Structure 1
């Protein structure tokens, strides 16, 4: 298992030449979700159906007792379908983004439009979406006591604040246990939801504090985001996501070393992340890694990690020799 210092250094190394793609993909996700919320707002709040029912908004129609029950039910179905569509859109974009981080960690070049690749494999996206739904459901269930106390006693009471603190702690600890489930699902197209959850529980049984330490090591970067009013997040968010991805890959390699799990679940679509053909000197300058043969795209994470480790050790040795 790599140390957190090695994980951060390796993340920075792999992002060379891919910063523009991952940042651009992040903006594509923001733009796509913004467009979705604009449509949702137009339908639900402004009432895109108003020409059919006068000048009332969709929400007021659902609350008006004079409107037939069938129409209210239909409008409720439309709103529910739109909300589900939003979750589906978010899941597909998140899957595509996570696959990009996996590709970067394995030494491949990515493109901005790769963020939409999450929608191409419907069974894979279904498994990933199911994993997200289960995690969200667990979080909601854990927050029920806090919601009930806030409803009965008010959100400004001492009881509510104590319950909120305890609930937040429990949710965060449970979140650490399931933190690798979405990544496992994104990394293995045929892995089902419950298998992804069990995989995360297995991986994190002895690595919770290590992952927490990785998050805490970004505290300075978070402060930088605060001081820059969030602008630094353009670079900090991809850096953190890439580090967490490498943490998962390193932990997975230790717990499942090229055994049945790899053979059963690994289905890499090499055509998705073909190496960008560049002159040798330019490729070396952009990625920091000397170009190899045409099989670069098929290298595993362990191969890339060993190559990086050997280069780092060689560089350190040369530096020590020069100092002597």
Structure 2
């Protein structure tokens, strides 16, 4: 598609503040709230059997089943994370996409996104082993990799991570503040018997997608 390696930016992005990004997310979600919440409800129903299976097989007598359930949960988490990112990136861009298309894409592209997720996890773990703060910074640095991979599927996992690192230079604090701005909503979730978590998750992931699109709007790249 468009890029293979991020090079430089002519000027700094006019990044909106957290309030403005949340406002953009709400506009994108207008008329789409129930569909967005529905996607999260589906992911919960899909993962629930694996969570129950893992808890029921924790003792030593069922260690093989426990390993299988844990492995299944890991593999399924890649599919779900790709599905959610695909769906909410479309929502943020006010483009129509159905559940079936989102899941279908995630299954078809499972291996590339598994490699990306695995490599990101290793890098973040390596930094976290040094100290917790470098681990947090690494997670912020690589936070755009999955969106970059969605827009540019021909990129290798390592290049998608490198592009994310370059894009996030000077914007990690903005991204961190965006996440912090949802703390109030998260604290209210238990008072809704956790049902409100579906709405907060949809809201947050749309805001993350809006952030990416703003950050991605103005860059100079070259094909390699």
Structure-2-length-normalised TM-score: 0.80
Q: Which stretches in structure 2 are left out of the alignment for 5+ residues?
A: 1-13
Residue 76 of structure 2 corresponds to 89
- Does 2:61 correspond to 1:24? no
CA distance in 2, matches of 1:109, 1:38: 34
Q: What is the CA-CA distance between 1:221 and the residue it aligns to? A: 2.1
Deviations 1:95-121 (A, max 9, x none): 111111111122123334444224342
Runs of 4+ residues deviating >6 angstroms: none
Task: Name the larger-Rg structure.
Answer: 1
Of structures 1 and 2, the one scoring higher in RCO (CA 8 A, sep 6+) is: 2
Q: What is the CA-CA distance between 1:29 and the residue it aligns to? A: 1.0
Residue 116 of structure 2 corresponds to 131
CA distance in 2, matches of 1:232, 1:143: 31
CA RMSD across the alignment? 2.7
Change (3 A) 1:144 1:10: closer
Matches within 5 A, 1:57-136: 57-59=61-63, 75=64, 82-121=69-108, 124-136=109-121
Residue 125 of structure 2 corresponds to 140
CA distance in 1, matches of 2:181, 2:51: 34
Classify the secondary structure of the residue corresponding to 2:216. helix
Q: Is the 8 A contact 1:127 1:191 kept in 2?
A: no
Classify the secondary structure of the residue corresponding to 1:234. helix
Classify the secondary structure of the residue corresponding to 2:218. helix
Change (3 A) 1:16 1:114: farther
Match of 1:220 among 155, 173, 184: 184
Q: Which stretches in structure 1 are left out of the alignment for 5+ residues?
A: 47-55, 60-74, 146-166, 265-324
Q: What is the CA-CA distance between 1:238 and the residue it aligns to? A: 0.9
Matches within 5 A, 1:231-250: 231-250=195-214
Q: What is the CA-CA distance between 1:223 and the residue it aligns to? A: 3.2
- Does 2:153 correspond to 1:189? yes
Q: What is the CA-CA distance between 1:89 and the residue it aligns to? A: 1.2
Residue 16 of structure 2 corresponds to 3
